[in-house]
Amino acid sequence: MRDIPSRTHRIDRSNVVRAALVLGVLHIGLIAGVSPVAAQRPAVRTAIEGAVYDTVSGRPIPFAVVSITQAARSTLTDSRGRYRLPVEAGTWEVQVRKIGYRMASVTVAISSEDTRRDLFMSPLPFELATINVTAEADDFATRIMRQAIARKNDLFGRIHDYHYDAYIKFIVRDLAKDRDSAESVFLITESQTSAYWEQPDRYQEVITARRQSTNLPAENNLVSVGQIVNFNTNRIDLQKYSVVSPTADDALDHYRYHVLDTLDVAGRTVFRLAIEPKSNAAPLFVGMIDVADSTFDVLAVDVATNEAIRFDFFENLRYRQRLADFGDDHWMPEEIRFSGELHVGVPLPGFPEHISFEHIASLREFRFDQGNAPVTLGEYLVVVDDDADDIDSTTWRERRVAPLTDVEQAAYTRIDSIENRPTPFGTKLLTGALGTIALSGNPDFFHFNRVEGPYLGAGWTWRGLSPDVILRARAGYAFDREDWQHRYGAQYRLSERRRLWVGASYHEQVVNRPTFVSPGENPTYLALFAKFDPFDYYREKGASFFVSTKLVNFT
């Protein structure tokens, strides 16, 4: 795609992926959430953690459901069988379930510090594939999911479009360091965004404000909510995989559901169902889904990918999503979390070998069926507003939905102080040499040929007058000819939707006659070192005018 002459940074689909790689994370999709909990629960002070093992093989059991029903808390073990459950100090019954194993439970006394307790499960003495009889509880779970799918279709059948605002926090941690220390935080970014979605899957998000730790350049901070990999679609594309959603129209052909718990959430009865693939050979999800009794609204989802889905370097990918009623029974995502771990494998300078990442998005102020689609909808996924990097700290504190923890705030200070340390003299010399080499390849700054000899110049582009106006100026001196050269121009945008620009320039400069083979070649190095210059030159003086536009999208 050609450059668009505007201060607003528009990022196409391929650039979104590149930006995610810069951050050390593939934007595979973002669906995440936390389990709903009863209102007015005391503050979480500690946690129980450990691993779940098979009593026969001794191997860890991935994607088992560990729960404390009295506290309405559940979680999935990761691919190594590990789990962590935040909970208040006290005595709790911890249960663990997984299809193919006997349910196990243990009573644990949890002190004011984190408590470690490994859990053990015995496999059932038969193969699941041979079972043809469905339990009554699973029949009930299937009926719940059938109603939830019908409810989803009814809801989205009535929505043409919606807007929402969001606050997004993205944190990368070095797993070799203590998680509760500021030293473990490798990178922090924060974003404020405004998004628009329209049937069937048209989407665009504008980053209205952003800030980040100083070890990441602002232009590489493209963290947004993203096209939410939401379970309201029938198929979810995760790179090379097309995964059936747990609420797809044909989900019952691919998943088993059974009731884990019945919860009381803000006075509503909520069923927590386990999601199990019918075949582990197919790329599917495994986890939990919360469905409200009677209305069959989906209130939360907590899933991981099964073993059939594999990504190089990545593991323990986890999606969690919590939904809320934003008016007229429109249950939409309120909080989304996407987390995982990345093993680089090969040590890289200044980059940890083993990191974890967590992407947390808080969504708010959904507005339905207002129209007002962005003019570039369908062409750009992410647009960075002109003023996104100019929001002061006071405004940030007012608009930040989720406050930073003490560790995160200390990490900001630590990273910034490290990045702002005086640069060693040797590093300055090396940086200057590399910068000079880079600039020497820019013919507007420096070039050499047999007509002009050495040329030194500078240019200036100004977009401060208006987003629709661009002013440019360039001047330089050719030492062999002993004369100045210059060029001045202006552009004006008539239509953003059609990318319709008009412009004019005046110039007096030496130019080379373009050739078919190498119209943009810079002959500086050939002329300097090989004494070879293949171009013809002439001095040109005059004015030029142009009109440019976009004929169709993506051009």
d(CA 211, CA 366): 24
Q: Which two tokens stand for residue 60?
A: 């860890």
pLDDT of residue 520: 55
Lowest mean pLDDT across 127-141, 425-439, 514-528: 127-141
d(CA 71, CA 526): 74
Interval 254-271 mean pLDDT: 84
pLDDT of residue 17: 34
Instruction: Please check whether residue 343 is in contact with residue 354, taking contact to mean a CB–CB distance below 8 angstroms.
Output: yes
Interval 474-496 mean pLDDT: 93
Q: Which band of pLDDT confidence, cut at 50, 70 and 90, is reported for residue 137?
A: low
Say how many C-beta atoms besides its own lie within 10 A of residue 120's C-beta: 16
Interval 225-230 mean pLDDT: 66
d(CA 206, CA 184): 30
pLDDT of residue 133: 41
Region of 58 (left: φ > 0; alpha: ψ -120 to 50; beta: rest) is left
Q: pLDDT for 308-367, tens place per residue?
A: 888 888 888 888 888 999 988 888 899 988 888 888 777 777 788 889 999 999 999 999
d(CA 225, CA 230): 12
Q: Which two tokens stand for residue 238?
A: 């995760």
Say how many C-beta atoms besides its own lie within 10 A of residue 75's C-beta: 22
Q: Are strands 537-548 and 104-110 parallel, antiparallel or unpaired?
A: unpaired
pLDDT of residue 297: 92
pLDDT of residue 136: 54
Q: pLDDT for 397-450, tens place per residue?
A: 777 777 788 888 888 888 877 755 566 667 667 777 777 667 667 788 888 888
Q: Which residues of 188-197 are buried (b: 16+ CB within 10 A; e: fewer)?
A: bbbbbbbbbb
Residue 333 Cα distances to 115, 214, 336, 502, 525, angstroms: 32, 31, 7, 43, 57
Whether residue 375 is predicted with pLDDT greater than 90 in this model: the reply is no
Q: pLDDT for 488-513, tens place per residue?
A: 999 999 988 788 999 999 999 998 87
Q: Which two tokens stand for residue 282?
A: 């197919």
Instruction: Please check whether residue 443 is in contact with residue 524, taking contact to mean a CB–CB distance below 8 angstroms.
Output: yes
Say how many C-beta atoms besides its own lie within 10 A of residue 280's C-beta: 12
